[in-house]
Amino acid sequence: MTVNLEVAEGVGTLRLDRPPMNALDVATQDRLKELAEEATRREDVRAVVIYGGEKVFAAGADIKEMQAMDHTAMVLRARGLQDAFTAVARIPKPVVAAVTGYALGGGCELALCADYRIAGENAKLGQPEILLGLIPGAGGTQRLPRLIGPSKAKDLIFTGRMVKADEALALGLVDRVVPAGEVYEQAHAWAARLAQGPALALRAAKEAVDAGLETDIDTGLTVERNWFAGLFATEDRERGMRSFVEEGPGKAKFH
């Protein structure tokens, strides 16, 4: 399989496995969607790591496959491409991308679908589609400017240039840079910590932030208010408040 879902101790790792560069062909896109939906459903998956291995995250689409597609073929495929990435973005649990080596084109767009990005010192990210006479088609023109701002996103998209880990960190494209050999370990630790948290509250927090970014502030505040009040009906809220009163902050065990 080109993508696998490995689950241990509440953390699901979506592992790209299509050597040598994890090129995201149609079969890999469809498999990614299938496993993202599985991670969404499974109660034993409480947080997710997206990982491409020690050498490369994903170097982009399968250009040879795309070259053989005409306009009609891509009209029929483009929605499936976006749907695969949207399935990852909509996993209602904390998601971290563990980025080593190249994360280009679709690889960069996949990292953008995570809530948090940890990159190795050897990471190189970019949206080089313009160099093929194209634009990003898996969310890059939408998620990248929402993350780093429109002018910085346009610079990357217009030029197609790659940025190394330090510049990616300065741009806000990644959130932490670590030695290449520690990328997965640190990403897994981030996910494992959140896997111990209150699952419904984390889901609420993610949905409130994401929904709020797509709408006006009054609508966003309504989403927040409804989730905030709704969480008062949960066992985790009772457990968390009881622990705070009896033991002090930060000691609650949620499962």
Phi and psi, residue 46, nearest 5°: -110, -10
CA distances, 247 to each of 190, 194, 201, 231, 232 (Å): 25, 21, 21, 21, 20
Catalytic-residue membership of 129: yes
| Rounded-to-integer distance, Cα 206 and Cα 201, Å | 9
Q: Contact, 101 vs 57, CB < 8 A?
A: yes
Choosing from 6, 37, 54, 129, the catalytic residue is: 129
Q: Contact, 16 vs 51, CB < 8 A?
A: yes
Q: Is 252 exposed, middle or buried (0-12, 13-18, 19+ CB in 10 A)?
A: middle
Tokens of 28: 């890999």
Helices assigned H by DSSP within 115-234? 140-148, 150-159, 165-171, 183-195, 199-213, 217-230
Choosing from 37, 38, 54, 109, the catalytic residue is: 109
Catalytic-residue membership of 238: no
Tokens of 22: 């994890």
Catalytically annotated residues: 109, 129
